[in-house]
């Protein structure tokens, strides 16, 4: 699977999970993606408009999907920068591992 197809599949996963996807979001520099889980289970993934490379975008989206799959109920907001700098470093690593495994699997399919 190429990067364009992977992006499409990841968007489909998000949709299937009922996650609202905000593309081209005006996120601060250094933040590629964000996952929000609001009360009532409403989830939003924002992807930064600054990320132009598709492989990077795919990784950011897969990473945020990882938070949705692994960390629902654990917290309501994660982003790479913030998580790296505080107690949630382990959660960041889990989301990174999830993203790497998911993209590897899609690439070889």
Q: What does the binding site for Zn ion look like in residue numbers (CB under 5 A)?
A: 78, 83, 92, 95
| Rounded CA separation 95/28 (Å) | 20
Q: Shortest Cβ distance from residue 108 to Zn ion (Å)? A: 24
Q: Which residues pair with 75 in a beta bridge?
A: 72
> In a 3-state reduction of DSSP, which class is residue 99?
helix
Q: How far is CA 99 from CA 39, 64, 79, in A?
A: 25, 8, 14
Nearer to Zn ion, 2 or 86 (CB): 86
Which residue's CB comes closest to Zn ion? 78
Nearer to Zn ion, 90 or 109 (CB): 90
Nearer to Zn ion, 6 or 88 (CB): 88
Q: Which residues contact 36 (CB under 8 A, 6 or more apart)?
A: 43, 44, 45, 46, 76, 77
Nearer to Zn ion, 4 or 93 (CB): 93
Q: Shortest Cβ distance from residue 83 to Zn ion (Å)? A: 5
Q: Shortest Cβ distance from residue 82 to Zn ion (Å)? A: 8
């Amino acid at each position: 699977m190429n990067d364009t197809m992977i992006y499409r599949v990841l968007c489909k996963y998000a949709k299937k999970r009922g996650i609202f996807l905000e593309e081209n979001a005006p996120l601060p520099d250094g933040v590629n993606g964000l996952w929000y889980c609001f009360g009532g289970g409403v989830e939003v993934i924002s992807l930064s408009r600054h990320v132009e490379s598709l492989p990077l975008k795919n990784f950011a989206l897969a990473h945020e999907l990882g938070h949705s799959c692994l960390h629902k109920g654990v917290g309501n907001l994660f982003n790479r920068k913030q998580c790296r700098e505080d107690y949630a470093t382990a959660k960041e690593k889990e989301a990174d591992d999830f993203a790497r495994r998911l993209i590897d699997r899609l690439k070889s399919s």
